[in-house]
Amino acid sequence: MSIKEANRLGVMKQIDKKMLNMRRASEELGVSLRQAKRIRKRYILHGELGLISRHRGKVSQNRINPMLKNEVLAILRREEYAGFGPTFAQEKLRQRHGTYLSDETLRKWMLEAGLWEEKKRRVCKVYQRRVRRSRFGEMLQGDGSRHAWFEDRGEVCTLVIFIDDATGRLTAGKFLPAETTEAYQHILEEHLMKYGRPLALYVDKHSIFRTNRETLKDSETHFARVLRELDIELICAHSPQAKGRVERANGTLQDRLIKEMRLRKINTIEEANQYLPSFMEDFGRKFGKEPRSAEDAHRPLRESDELERIFARRSYRKVSKDLSFQYEGVFYQINANSPNRFRHTKVNILERPGKPILVESNGKEYPYTKWEKTAQHEKPKILDSKELEAHWPTRIYKRPGRQHPWR
């Protein structure tokens, strides 16, 4: 007997002892008076066995056809569905094969067939939950994830993404060979052109965003300067859990995006970047949230915001007597109308990707001539032992005089 049936037996015995009437018994059992009379009738006719459910041991009328179970498991055993979880597999079965099953039914089948393993829950450190920002664009979270995005079909690369804290939607992203300053600049420019300037950017303590050496704590990195000139607050998290929204998004992407690209046979960075915008839209529709405030916190770009100039790398060089300076192993000579006033001054060099450098001094741009000769030191001649003996100078020791200060 089940616990429910054992409770019914106890009530029936109380009725036999005249301790309960049928109305009080129906209240004890939580059923109607008519149902209580049916239960009493079956007890009188069949005894204790009459209280046991007659469905026990029989096949359920709602049982799923075993043929369908075998077909579904055969589909999930294909190579293209390797590693699919029950929830994602259920979505793909509905979209691609027209098979409608619940997540839990599919999870049970996959566990029985050995296609899925239950995840063991670890005892983790508890972090207080932070409330989402209220407006879209109030704060972005950014991160780069280096992973085998194409599995064994292509090279390992990095996916850099920005996710909005208020809505949980991916606003910009791109596959790149490595997580570099230029990669974040490209993603930031994509976001700026599409939405405008956000109020803040939440990232980790990578050397791209802040200087981690103790001796250079007060210095500013190139990307931090870019954010400062665009009036975007830079926030560096103390732990991965602090920026958990983008970390969890990376985990979801490493599961779903990899399998979507496998189904579409995407094997290169170029193909992945073409598909990424449509995936980001689907991601936003499925996992995005409505912000608490309908106001958009993004600010439009100002007239003074020349992105090409702001994103340019800047460095300083001191001009020599002949108005030349060296940069990246190449000599440059400035063409100035008053050369005497220009000597020994410092010039600001702006390096733009794919374009020649700009040379400025006191806010004014100066033309220059690039020398063909690069700054290379002549390699020393390798001498053998005989040449060393012949050319090595003999050291002469001299005694200082009596009037020498050493005396």
Report which of 227, 220, 219 is spatially closest to residue 188, judged by C-alpha positions. Answer: 227
Report which of 216, 235, 215, 251 is spatially closest to residue 133, judged by C-alpha positions. Answer: 235
Report which of 340, 309, 339, 346 is spatially closest to residue 325, judged by C-alpha positions. Answer: 346
Residue 397: per-residue pLDDT: 66
d(CA 312, CA 182): 10
pLDDT tens-digit profile of 348-401?
888 877 788 888 887 788 888 887 655 455 545 544 433 344 445 566 667 777
Q: How far is CA 278 from CA 15, 150, 248, 272, 283, in A?
A: 69, 18, 20, 11, 9
Q: How far is CA 218 from CA 39, 121, 215, in A?
A: 82, 42, 8
d(CA 122, CA 125): 10
Contact 197, 179 (CB under 8 A): no
d(CA 371, CA 97): 66
Average pLDDT, the chain: 85
Count the neighbouring beta carbons within 10 Å of the beta carbon of residue 143. 22
Segment 223-232 mean pLDDT: 92
Using the predicted structure, report yes or no on whether residue 345 has a pLDDT greater than 90: no
The beta strands (E) that lie in 261-357 are given as: 313-318, 324-327, 330-334, 346-351
User: Helix or strand or coil: residue 326?
Assistant: strand
pLDDT tens-digit profile of 240-258?
888 889 999 999 999 999 9
pLDDT tens-digit profile of 140-168?
999 999 999 999 898 899 999 999 999 99
Domain 140-287 - what CATH class?
Answer: alpha beta
Q: Where are the domains of the chain?
A: 3-51, 66-113, 140-287, 314-374
Q: pLDDT-based confidence at 197, cuts 50/70/90?
A: very high
pLDDT tens-digit profile of 274-316?
999 999 999 999 999 999 999 999 999 988 888 888 888 888 8
pLDDT tens-digit profile of 255-264?
999 999 999 9
**Lowest mean pLDDT: which of 10-24, 25-39, 114-128, 130-144?**
114-128
Q: pLDDT-based confidence at 207, cuts 50/70/90?
A: confident
